Homo-oligomer: A and B are copies of this chain.
Amino acid sequence: VVAAAELRDDDRVAFIAGIGAPGVLVEKLPRVDEAVTALHILEAHLGSRFTHLCPAEAGGLNALTPIGPAAATGLPIVDADGMGRAFPSLELVTPTLDGGVCTPMGFADEHGNTMLIDTPTNLWAEDFARAATVASGGIAMLALYPMTGRQAKDWLVHGALSLAQRLGQAVRRGSSTGELPLDEIFAETGGHRLFHGTVVDVDRRNERGWTMGTVVVSGTGRHGGQSMEIDFQNENLVARVDDSIVATTPDLIMVLGLDTAEPIPAEDVRYGQRVTVVGLPCDPQWRTPAGLALTGPRRFGYDVDFRPIEA
A117 CB-CB contact with B under 8 Å: yes
Closest B residue by C-beta to A119: B113
B116 touches A116 (CB 8 A): yes
Contacts of A111 in B (CB 8 A): 119-120, 124
Interchain CA distance A297-B116 in the complex, whole Å: 35
* A interface residues (Cβ-Cβ under 8 A, vs B): 45, 111-120, 124, 127-128, 130-132, 134-136
A210 to chain B, nearest CB (A): 15
Q: A128: which of B45, B127, B135 is its contact (CB, 8 Å)?
A: B135
Task: Find chain B residues with CB under 8 A from A132 CB.
Answer: 128, 131-132
Give, as a whole number of angstroms, the nearest-CB distance from A131 to chain B. Answer: 4
CA distance A119 to B115 in the complex (A): 8
Does A120 contact B124, Cβ atoms closer than 8 Å?
A: no
- A113 (CB) vs chain B CBs: closest residue: B119
Residues of B near A136 (CB, < 8 A) are 128
Option from B115, B119, B120, B124 in Cβ contact (under 8 Å) with A118:
B115
Q: List 7 A-B contacts (CB under 8 A).
A: A111-B124, A113-B119, A113-B120, A115-B117, A116-B116, A131-B132, A131-B134
9 closest residue pairs by CB, A with B: A131-B135, A131-B131, A116-B116, A112-B120, A113-B119, A127-B135, A114-B118, A115-B117, A128-B135
Tell whether A116 pairs with B115 under 8 Å between CB atoms, given A132-B132, A135-B128: yes
Complex Cα gap A119–B116 (Å): 12
Q: Which residues of B contact A115 (CB under 8 A)?
A: 115-118, 128
Whole-angstrom distance from the CB of A113 to the nearest CB of chain B? Answer: 5
Task: Assess the A113–B128 pair: CB atoms within 8 A.
Answer: yes
Q: Bound complex: CA of A128 vs CA of B117, how far in Å?
A: 12
Residues on the B chain within 8 Å of A118, using CB? 113-115
The CA-CA distance from A132 to B117 in the complex, in Å, is: 10
- CB-CB under 8 A from A128, the residues of chain B are 113, 115, 132, 135-136
Q: Determine the residue in chain B with the shortest Cβ distance to A116.
A: B116
CB within 8 A of A124: which of B45, B113, B131, B134?
B113
Q: Which residues of chain B are within 8 angstroms of A112 by Cβ–Cβ distance?
A: 119-120
Residue of B nearest to A130 (CB): B135
- Please give me the residue from chain B that is nearest to A137 by CB atom: B127
Distance in angstroms between the alpha carbons of A92 and B201 in the assembled complex: 47
Instruction: Please measure, in the bound complex, the distance between the C-alpha atom of A111 and the C-alpha atom of B128, giving whole angstroms.
Output: 12
Residues in chain B near residue A135, CB distance under 8 A: 127-128, 130-131
Q: For the complex, give the distance between the alpha carbons of A292 and B117 in Å.
A: 35
- B residues near A127, Cβ cutoff 8 Å: 135
* CA gap between A67 and B18 in the complex, in Å: 41
Cα–Cα, bound, A126→B119 (Å): 20
